[in-house]
Structure 1
Amino acid sequence: MELKRSIKRQSVPDALAADIRQRILSGEFQDGDQIRQEQIAEEYEVSRMPVREALRRLEAEGLVAFHAHRGAIVTELSLDEIAEMYDLRELIEIETLKVAIPAMTEAHLEAAREILSNLESAYESKDVAAWGALNTQYHVALCASSGRKQSLAFIKQINSQIERYIRLQLKAEGAMDKAEDEHRQLLKLIEDKNVDATVELLRKHILDSKEGMLAEVAAHRAA
């Protein structure tokens, strides 16, 4: 019997987009896969209209692209595009964090501590999916006090586009250990208001992640 999927009815396109997004990030829908609107509508027992709207939202996030005669296709980032994403992230996130640190209140710090605690739980259980989503939340939370809405949205969007590759990278031995240790160090330096050391560590954190991800993605595609 074919699997049927249930969603919350109060916002069908939002619920569809959220669930399909997770299926892309988990690798169920892989790079280059066609997402057939008719099949999705049947799986979730909805009409094609909210499915199309959901896919358009994922298109805006860079996760799918519409092609003539093929419909919605899961996007594939080249190694050069992944590297470019990281280069942009380095520039924007570091400048945003520089502004954020002096403006941080105890409420901002407490929000970051709470997310870090959830990251610790995901780390202990080796829940890569939860860790990937929380990783984005954590980096955005560290920069939240900057007040730079466009920069924060861009940081979130970049992480959304590369999260599926982050999950692949995290499966490499020691990758989660290193990232989690650096997350703890970042928060401690921010609590101490040590801007220079925080920026130096964040730059290393991003560049090391970039190198590790490019190696993992290249190996995965060559397999």
Structure 2
Amino acid sequence: MSSLSSPTASRGAGIQQVRVAETVAAELRRRILRGDFPDGALPKQDQLREEYGISHPSLREALRILETEGLVVVRRGNVGGAIVQQPGEARFGYTLGLALQSTGIRVHELATAVATLEPVCARLCAENPKRGKEIVPRLRAILDTARGEEDANGVPFTRAARSFHTAVVDLCGNEPTKMIVGGLVALWDAQEEAWAQDLTAEGAYPDHDRRVATTNAHSKLVDLIEAGDGLGAEDFSRRHIRSTQKVILSRIEDRVIQASSVRSNILGSQQNGR
């Protein structure tokens, strides 16, 4: 029996393959996070193997590492390849949701976190000296779109209204806050959308007047942000969020958080090219 077929040699080869895969995964991770693949896909596997001088099993293991981290999705078949997935609030929300779901955290606990932290983003928007040029116009544009959905019943309006909350977080100007609070908001979005689906199926979704009241509240928040009233924006945002959550929690507060709905939203965004 040759030394290459001995158990010790096999283990050594396996360890070496893992080390090579981890090295290549680390390099590809850096390139993904640096934005080196603007077309949204890694090079073909043959090209990667030639570039890094590695075997097919080592490359496959490297891609598996990145897929586990959520940075790529490997598609098989004739149109296969590794599709890049930039990390963001929604993906963080999904990972966070899995952790919270595994410990049995209830929806009302998530609601408290959102009502505590999202208003800080409203204050940061109001305190931003560039709010007049970079924040308020974008919020008003999103608000106009939401107003166009006031006659829509159920999930379409909920999605339009939730996009405003997402924008307030996205525009807060502090990247760590944006990521952390955005993850919580993405997770809450999914719970609220599930609520909207349930009520729509029962014909019990909130009426037109309540939908108008929601967009009016968002408009008031934009006015406070535009005026530079940080504390006022934070206080109003918190009261509005709690008021909205009260309606939703009356039905689902005892549910355990479901992370799968966040994943569905991510996949839907990918399919729509967003």
TM-score normalised over the length of structure 1:
0.58
Is 1:214 the counterpart of 2:240? The answer is no
Which structure has the larger Rg?
2
Q: How many residues align?
A: 169
Is 1:47 the counterpart of 2:76? The answer is yes
In structure 2, the gaps of 5 or more residues are 1-38, 43-74, 200-204, 257-274
Aligned in 2, Cα 1:130/1:178: closer, same or farther, shift over 3 Å? closer
Tell me if the contact between 1:100 and 1:144 (Cα under 8 Å) persists in the aligned partners.
no
Query: Which whole-Å CA distance do the structure 2 matches of 1:220 and 1:178 have between them?
Result: 27
2:232 to 178, 197, 210: 197
Q: Which letter does structure 1 place at the counterpart of 2:148?
A: S
Q: Structure 2 matches for 1:1-223, cutoff 5 A?
A: 47=76, 61-62=93-94, 81-103=106-128, 104-126=131-153, 128-129=155-156, 131-132=158-159, 134-170=160-196, 171=199, 172-174=205-207, 175-217=210-252
Per-residue CA deviation, residues 65-87 of structure 1 (Å, 9 max, x unaligned), is: 59xxxxxxxx6996x53222222
1:202, distance to aligned residue in structure 2 (A):
0.9
1:111, distance to aligned residue in structure 2 (A):
0.8
Q: Which has the higher contact order (CA 8 A, sep 6+)?
A: 2
Q: Which letter does structure 2 place at the counterpart of 1:173?
A: P
In structure 1, the gaps of 5 or more residues are 1-9, 14-45, 67-74
Secondary structure at the counterpart of residue 149 of structure 2: helix
Aligned in 2, Cα 1:123/1:155: closer, same or farther, shift over 3 Å? farther
Aligned in 2, Cα 1:219/1:91: closer, same or farther, shift over 3 Å? closer
Q: Partner residue of 2:11?
A: none
Tell me if the contact between 1:123 and 1:176 (Cα under 8 Å) persists in the aligned partners.
yes
Q: What is the aligned-residue identity percentage?
A: 11
Query: Which whole-Å CA distance do the structure 1 matches of 2:120 and 2:161 have between them?
Result: 19
Tell me if the contact between 1:120 and 1:180 (Cα under 8 Å) persists in the aligned partners.
yes
**Aligned-residue CA RMSD (Å):** 3.9
TM-score normalised over the length of structure 2:
0.48
Tell me if the contact between 2:142 and 2:163 (Cα under 8 Å) persists in the aligned partners.
yes
Aligned in 2, Cα 1:197/1:89: closer, same or farther, shift over 3 Å? same
